[in-house]
Every structure is written in C-alpha cells, then in structure tokens.
C-alpha cells in the first residue's frame, strides 16, 4: 500500500518555528520577488509565498513585469534590491518566459539569493561551506527522510534540469545515496527510473510517470505543477502509481508547501548572514 507523504503537515511545523524565531529579531526580514509574465502556476506560487511571508512576519515586496520585459530592466531592479538594507532575500520566480535565467540569478547578491541557485551558493554547497541551499532541495530531502526508510544501498534518479537537480544530488550524497540526473527526453528513461529506490520528477509534464516507470516500493517525489482544466496536476499519474510506489508526494499538498516553508528558513538564514 502506498503511503501518501503529507507535505502540508510537515510544513506547518516549520512555519511555526520560523515565525517564533522572527518574532525575537531586532528587525523585520524582507523578501522581494520578481515575477515575469502571466504563467498561472508561477502566479499561484508567488501568492502562496506572499501569504506565508506575511503570516511569519516577513516584509514582502512583489515586482511584476510583462513577458517581453528587457533583461536590462530586471537587472537594474536586482542591482537596486542588492543595495537595499530592508530587503534580505531576492527571488526571481522561475521559469522565465524567454529571459536568460543564469544571467538573472548571477546578478543577485549571493547572500540574498534565497533560492540557492547562485553559482557562489552552488560552489559553497559543493565544498561543504556555509551558504544558502535551495529550499526545494531541502524540502525534498525532508519529505524523503520523513518516510524513515533505510537509505543504505539506495539509488536515486532525478528527472530535471541540471541546475535544479544538482543541489538535490549533493544533499542525497550526504545520506550515501548515489543519484543519476536524466532528461525527460532520454530514450532509456523508463529503464533508468525502474531501477530507482527514490524517484524525483520535476519537468512540468502532466502524468509523465506511470506505474511502468516505478520500482516497487520506491519513494516517489513529484515536483511537477501544471494547471490543467483549473486543477494543478503533477508529473506523476497518481492513480496509476499508487498501486506500486511505497511512498508518494501528492500534488498539490506535497513538495509545494514544503518549498514555501523552507523558503522562509532561507530568508531567515539570509537575514542572519547579512547581520
């Protein structure tokens, strides 16, 4: 029987802890989110982040741009936010319509990069030095460890972009889990995923993964969020996979709430680094 991992329940505990910590600070931490275009899923996530920040006592500022905005306009705003002492975290909501993602992320002050994707934060993660780690990666790890499954001899497959997958790969390695990053277009995708004790999927292709891709008893982490007929659906076909997976994160209610909760932790860490 498949166990559904309740991300909302785990996230509530983390958010309460963060709120308590923030209430004792001398100043209010601040987050600025830059949102480009009109992707429904991105707007939904930003609303959830705004709500979580306000509930935790974090100042929230949103910068909206049309999908055809010039990169220089965004970079100019990032430079201003880098200098502001009331803003401790800067987040460019991904994916971007067509702007250069790497260029946008590299422009953020590493100590304000609460998404943890800046090259300096990646370098620090790789060399085991203090830095800001991707909230998504941290959230995924907390979901995986909540299963209390033994990781000895386990292997993982991550279906995602290298930028997204790398922090997860590093964190898995700390638990002795060897992982492989593969593309959704890999012709041997099914053969590779069926060997995985832990399968993490983040490609934005609804119901890409069915029971035929799953190893019996595997931990399946569904990061995908796509709006279909006014519903948010994941990359995993839950109905099909529930009969074979050992553990599964639902969409919604799995990775999403955990990512938002760990974002608050990242903002708090950024605040402490800057103070």
Cα(251)–Cα(217) distance, integer angstroms: 19
pLDDT at residue 62 in the model: 98
- Of the listed 93, 111, 237, 269, which one is catalytic? 93
| Domain containing residue 249: CATH number | 3.40.50.720
pLDDT at 82: 98
Length of the chain: 275
The answer to whether 102 and 92 are in contact (CB under 8 A) is no
Question: Is 109 marked active-site?
Answer: no
Pairing of strands 30-36, 226-228: unpaired
- Return the pLDDT at 57: 97
- pLDDT means per 10 residues in the chain (275 residues)? 95 97 96 95 90 97 98 98 98 95 97 96 94 96 95 95 94 95 97 98 96 97 89 94 96 95 97 92
- pLDDT (0 to 100) of residue 41: 78
Cβ neighbours of residue 105 under 8 Å, at least 6 residues apart?
A: 92, 113, 115, 117, 118, 119
Helices and strands, number each (H, E), in the chain: 10, 11
Query: Is 272 assigned a catalytic role?
Result: no
User: In the annotation, is 115 catalytic?
Assistant: yes
Residue 143 sits in the same domain as residue 252: yes
Beta strands in 37-110 (DSSP E): 59-65, 89-92
Report whether 225 belongs to an annotated binding site: yes
Q: Is residue 5 in some structural domain? A: no
Tell me: do 99 and 142 sit in the same domain: no
Catalytic option among 109, 112, 113, 115: 115
| Number of Cβ within a 10 Å radius of residue 179 | 20
Range of the domain at 80: 27-109
Domain membership flag for residue 246:
yes
3-state secondary structure at position 11: helix
Measure the N-to-C terminal CA separation of the chain; round to a whole number of Å. Answer: 48
pTM, 2 dp:
0.92
């Amino acid at each position: 029987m498949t166990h559904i991992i309740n991300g909302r329940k785990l996230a509530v505990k983390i958010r309460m802890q963060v709120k308590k910590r923030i209430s004792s600070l001398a100043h209010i931490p601040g987050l600025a989110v830059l949102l480009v275009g009109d992707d429904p899923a991105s707007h939904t996530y930003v609303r959830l982040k705004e709500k979580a920040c306000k509930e935790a006592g974090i100042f929230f500022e949103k910068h909206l741009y049309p999908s055809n905005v010039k990169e220089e306009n965004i970079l100019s705003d990032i430079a201003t936010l880098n200098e502001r002492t009331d803003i401790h975290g800067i987040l460019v909501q991904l994916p971007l319509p067509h702007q250069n993602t790497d260029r946008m992320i590299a422009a953020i002050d590493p100590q304000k990069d609460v998404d943890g994707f800046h090259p300096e934060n990646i370098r620090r993660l790789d060399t085991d030095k203090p830095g800001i780690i991707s909230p998504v990666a941290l959230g995924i790890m907390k979901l995986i460890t909540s299963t209390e499954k033994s990781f000895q001899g386990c292997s993982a497959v991550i279906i995602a972009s290298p930028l997204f997958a790398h922090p997860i790969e590093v964190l898995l390695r700390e638990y002795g889990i060897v992982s492989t990053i593969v593309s959704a277009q890999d012709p041997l995708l099914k053969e590779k995923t069926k060997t995985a004790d832990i399968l993490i999927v983040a490609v934005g292709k609804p119901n890409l993964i069915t029971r035929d891709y799953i190893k019996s008893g595997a931990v399946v982490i569904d990061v995908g969020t796509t709006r279909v007929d006014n519903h948010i659906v994941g990359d995993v076909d839950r109905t099909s996979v529930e009969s074979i997976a050992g553990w599964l994160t639902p969409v919604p209610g799995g990775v999403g709430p955990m990512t938002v909760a760990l974002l608050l932790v990242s903002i708090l860490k950024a605040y402490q680094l800057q103070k």
